[in-house]
Amino acid sequence: MKTYLKFLFFLMTGSSLWAQQIICSTENKEAVNQKFQEIENLNNALVGEELVAIGRTFLGTPYVAKTLEVGQEESLVITLEGLDCTTYVENVLAFGMAKEDNDPSFETFAKMLEKIRYRNGKLKGYSSRLHYFTEWISNNEEKGLVQNITAALGGTEIDKTLNFMSTHRDLYPYLKDEKSFQQIQKTEKELQKQPLCILSREMLSMNEDLIHTGDIIALATSIEGLDVTHTGFAIKAADGRIHLLHASSSGAVEISTLPLVEYLKGIKKNTGVIVARPL
């Protein structure tokens, strides 16, 4: 039987003490250490190439939805045995960051994951998680981790209200808590102040050559109140086209058979993409 650990980590970072509550099985803790050994000899000069090399080591990992909805309160959940599209991107980035820092340890990986996953890098309850992927991009841009290049690729701003979580409260168990619900509503109001820039499928087709391997691709949607339905990494395949390296809801981490432009045509209500380049 799998044994889950819930513990408080203390780690000195410079002159400060970092502490965080983490949920992780003993098997997953060991898997993190094994992953560091697996990627130890990956040495790519370009950030994007390095991230995709790390991302490839997850090929075949099962897709599992709602991997972070564990326990009665928000904790830093760490699992490698099953990933959804967002946690796949987050885990690959966290391994890349820890490797770049030359500190391949579970503690450093956990700290990097918290930095990526939560607003301003700090876990402060359920509402501090970057639920809307457009905020995930903008907040990680403020941290200096990614750069939103959608506009530079020919994207255009659209006017859209983001309120899917508050208008579908029953889909999110943690929103039964009134305080968390009100905080999510506050976040949604703040998001209305940020421009939402989308690269249409037509513009993506015209500027596909400007997409780099390792760019983070977020699939924009026409679903009311929602910004993004899926995410993954761009990867230039043997055919010279950009494909999607992602945790597919159809089964596992994989590289899309179709090039990204054609792949998007099969996604219901897709309106284009948002592109963020890891730094």
C-alpha span between 188 and 184 (Å, rounded): 6
Q: How confident is the model at residue 17 (pLDDT cuts 50, 70, 90)?
A: very low
Q: Are residues 122 and 8 in the same domain?
A: yes
d(CA 90, CA 87): 5
Pair 271, 234 in one domain:
yes
123 & 158 share domain: no
Q: What is the mean pLDDT of the chain?
A: 92
Do residues 65 and 169 both lie within one domain? no
Q: Cα–Cα distance between 245 and 236 in angstroms, integer?
A: 10
- Rounded to two decimals, the pTM is 0.92
247 and 167, same domain (yes or no): yes
Answer yes or no: do 198 and 108 share one domain. no
Question: pLDDT tens, 40-59?
Answer: 999 887 999 999 999 999 99
Residue where one domain finishes, among candidates 63, 94, 128? 128
pLDDT bucket at 5, cuts 50 / 70 / 90: low
One domain, residues 92 and 170: no
Structural domain including 150 reads 146-278
Check residue 14 and give its pLDDT.
46
Whether 18 has a pLDDT exceeding 80, the answer reads no
Q: Taking residues 83-107, report their average pLDDT.
A: 95
Q: Residue 78 to residues 87, 113, 134, 163: CA-CA distances in angstroms?
A: 9, 9, 23, 28
| Counted domains in the chain | 2
**Neighbouring C-beta atoms of residue 184, cutoff 10 Å:** 22
Residue 172 has pLDDT above 50, yes or no: yes
d(CA 70, CA 60): 23
- Check whether 274 has a pLDDT greater than 90: yes
